[in-house]
Amino acid sequence: MKKNLDNQIEVAIMRETEKIEKSERKKVEELFSKEMKDKDEKIKEKDKRLQKAEEEELKLRKEKRELDDAKKKFELETARKLDEERKKIFDKATEQVNEENDLKNKERELENTNLKKQITELKRTAEQGSQKLQGEVLELEQVLSKNFNFDDIEPISSGIKGADILQKVCFKTGKVCGTILFESKNAKNWSNGWISKLKNDQRNANADIGVIVTTVLPDGVDNFDMREGVFIVHHKSIVPVTLMLRNQLFEISRTKSFNTGKNEKMETVYNYLTGTEFRHNVETIVEAFA
């Protein structure tokens, strides 16, 4: 009886033990399953974040590539446009320079042709004796108009105080490049007061060059001289001297047009006309003309 009871107790204990083990195992399995599930969720969440980070990185890399491509494209387009603008500017500048050179060459050709015609006419009239430059004071307007028909010769009215004639030196195109103011004197004795008077008239007329044409010269002067910025010329030498003055005004006007802002015209005229080069040139022409 006792043995059966022990067996029953042992069986009961075994059953209860199995029951407890099953219960504990179940709890452990549930706990393990829960932990595994939590880990899986964490891994999934981590994978999602990693995937999202990778996607963001890919997106950023793509945007960077697009920005780099856009930058390169912009730089290329800018370089092309700059090259086009440089070419346009260069072509335009080249065209302007060519036009200016063509115009300058044409003006020189016209002036050289005109100068040759004038020299030929002067030689012819000198040889034929048709031009009389001796005796009384010249009819200055007639002489200047005859020999320099491209210029505007403007006699100053006798009722107006001032010099006698204003000569506007013109290119063949009609453009005025300078002015010469003439004072004609027919006297027995030279007067230094004529110089200051003509200088005052020159300022009033805003003329580039002042010339006294006279039958009587200062002591020591044969044909022409320059004193205090005023030319003193014997009436026999008026044509060749005026010719040289005109040519110099042409050169100064052209030089000034290509060198705007460097020197004032009056200063340039004075520097050249007071130099030995101009004196020698005039002396050569006067001697050949005589």
In this prediction, residue 251 carries a pLDDT of 83
Q: What is the pLDDT of residue 136?
A: 37
pLDDT computed for residue 134 by the predictor: 36
> Which among 29-38, 150-159, 242-251 has the top mean pLDDT?
242-251
| 9 pLDDT more than 60 | yes
Would the pLDDT of 5 be above 80? no
Residue 234: C-alpha distances to residues 47, 88, 96, 215 (Å): 113, 56, 45, 6
Q: Output the six-digit token pair for 122.
A: 């002067």
pLDDT at 193: 92
Q: What is the mean pLDDT of residues 256-264?
A: 59
CA distance 284 to 288: 6
pTM: 0.46
**pLDDT of residue 11 exceeding 60:** yes
**pLDDT exceeds cutoff 70 at 70:** yes
pLDDT, averaged across the chain: 78
The better pLDDT of the pair 151, 35 is held by 151
pLDDT tens for 209-238 read: 999 999 899 988 888 888 888 999 988 888
Specify the range with the lowest mean pLDDT, choosing from 74-83, 106-115, 163-172, 204-213. 106-115
Contact call for residues 249 and 177 (beta carbons, < 8 A)? yes
Residue 273 has pLDDT above 70, yes or no: no
Tell me what the mean pLDDT of segment 123-130 comes to.
51
140 band by pLDDT with thresholds 50, 70 and 90: confident
pLDDT of residue 130 exceeding 60: no
Q: Is the pLDDT of residue 64 over 70?
A: yes
Percent of the chain residues past pLDDT 90, beyond the cut: 11
φ, ψ (nearest 5 deg) of residue 190: -75, 145
Q: How confident is the model at residue 125 (pLDDT cuts 50, 70, 90)?
A: low
Q: What are the residues facing 232 on neighbouring strands?
A: 212, 225
Residue 118 CB partners (closer than 8 Å, separation 6+): 147, 148, 243
Q: Using the predicted structure, report yes or no on whether residue 132 has a pLDDT greater than 50.
A: no
Q: Please name the residues in contact with 150: beta carbons below 8 A apart, sequence gap of 6 or more.
A: 114, 170, 171, 172
> Residue 90: left if φ>0, alpha if ψ -120 to 50, beta else—which one?
alpha
What value does the mean pLDDT take over residues 103-132? Answer: 67
159-204: per-residue pLDDT in tens? Answer: 556 678 999 999 888 888 899 999 988 888 999 999 999 999 988 8
Tokens, residue 214: 């006279």
For the cut 90, the answer to whether the pLDDT of residue 111 exceeds it is no
Question: 28-32, 245-249, 270-274 — which one is most confidently predicted on average?
Answer: 245-249
